[in-house]
Amino acid sequence: MRIGVVGCGAVGSYYGAKLCRAGQDVHFLLRSDYEAVLRAGVSIFSPEGDFNARPRCAKTAGEIGPCDLVLIGLKTTANGEFPRLLPPLVAPSTAVITLQNGLGNEEALAGLFPPGQILGGLCFVCLNRTEPGVVRHTGYGMIMLGEFEGCPRARTHEIASLLCGAGVNCRVADDLARAHWEKLAWNIPFNGLGVAGAAGFDAFGDSRKPIAGRRRLGDCLTTDKLLADPRWEGLVRELMLEVIRAANALGYPIPESLAEKQIERTRTMEAYKASTLIDFEQGRSIELEGLFLEPLRRAKAAGVFVPRLETLCRVLREIEMARTR
C-alpha cells in the first residue's frame, strides 16, 4: 500500500516507521528533518524493541503523488496548511486519516475532500521526538480508528488490520465523536494544567499565585507531579468530570467512572510530559483551539456548566498572548 505521512514529528514518525518496517510503501513529507531521515532513516527506541526504518523521503507533496492512505500527524496549529500540502496526495479512492489531537480536524479536512474519504485515528501513546529522525516510545501505542461519517465500513476494518499487521494495536470505534470526548477527558487536564503550572498560574480560582512555590517559566508539570499534589490531582479529576458531563449532554454517553480509570492508568506513566508541554517549553504555539477552546464552545452550547474548563482556557489564552507579546 502506498502511504503518505504528513507531519513527521513523534506521532507521524512512529506509526509511519512501523508501517515501513512491515513492508508498506511509506513516503514521509519532510521539512527540517529531511536530511537527517534521508541519511539515517527513522530510529525508534522503545521497550517493545528498538528498530530503524527507511521510508522514502520527499520535500513536496508533488514528489509523492496520490496515495492509497494518507496519515496526518501535523500539530493542529498547522491545519491552515492543509490546502497546500494535501491535494497532491489525495485521489478519489484515498483514505485520509487525521491522527491529531482535539476537535475540528475531520471537519477541516471535509472542507477539502469528500467526507466519506475521511477517518480519525485517536492515538493513546507516550512518545517524544528527541532529535531529527529519532523518537522515544515509553508506553502504550493503541489507535482508536473511526469514520468521520457514519458507522465503521469494510474499509475501516481493512485499515485497522493493516495497522495491526504492522504491530500497532488498532481498534475500531463505533462512534468517533464519542471516542474524541473520551480522549479529551485525559488530554485537557494533563496537557492544560501542565502548562498552566509552568507559567506559575493557580487555575483553582481567579488568583495567579503559584500553588507550590515560584517556578521558573517553562518548568512544566509532568503527569507524576500533577498526581503527587492533592490540589492538582483534585483539579485533574474535576476537569475530567466536566468534560464527561459535556460529552453526555452532547449525546455521547461516557460513564463518570472513566475519570478514575484514566487517573490510575496515568500513574503508571511516571514522569510523562504530554505533547502540549513540549510545545510550550520549545517556544511553539500550543494547540489551544482544537484541544481546549472548541471543546469549551461545544460544552457551553449544550448548556453545561464547566467553570474549571472555562478558567483553564482563560489562563492558557493569557499565557499565549503574553508569549506572543
Catalytic site positions: 183
Give burial (CB, 10 Å; 0-12/13-18/19+) of 118: buried
DSSP conformational letter for 117: G
C-alpha cell of 206? 481567579
Q: Is 49 left (phi over 0), alpha (psi -120 to 50) or beta?
A: left
* 132, three cell numbers: 531529527
Cβ proximity of 185 and 244 under 8 Å: yes
In single-letter form, the type of residue at position 36 comes to A
3-state secondary structure 250-294: CCCCCCCHHHHHHHHHHHCCCCCCCHHHHHHHCCCCCCHHHHHHH
C-alpha cell at 138: 515509553
Phi, psi at residue 205, to the nearest 5°? -160, -150
- For residue 175, give the 3-state DSSP assignment: coil
Which region holds residue 260: left if phi is over 0, alpha if psi is between -120 and 50, else beta? Answer: alpha
Q: How far apart are CA 325 and CA 313, in angstroms?
A: 18
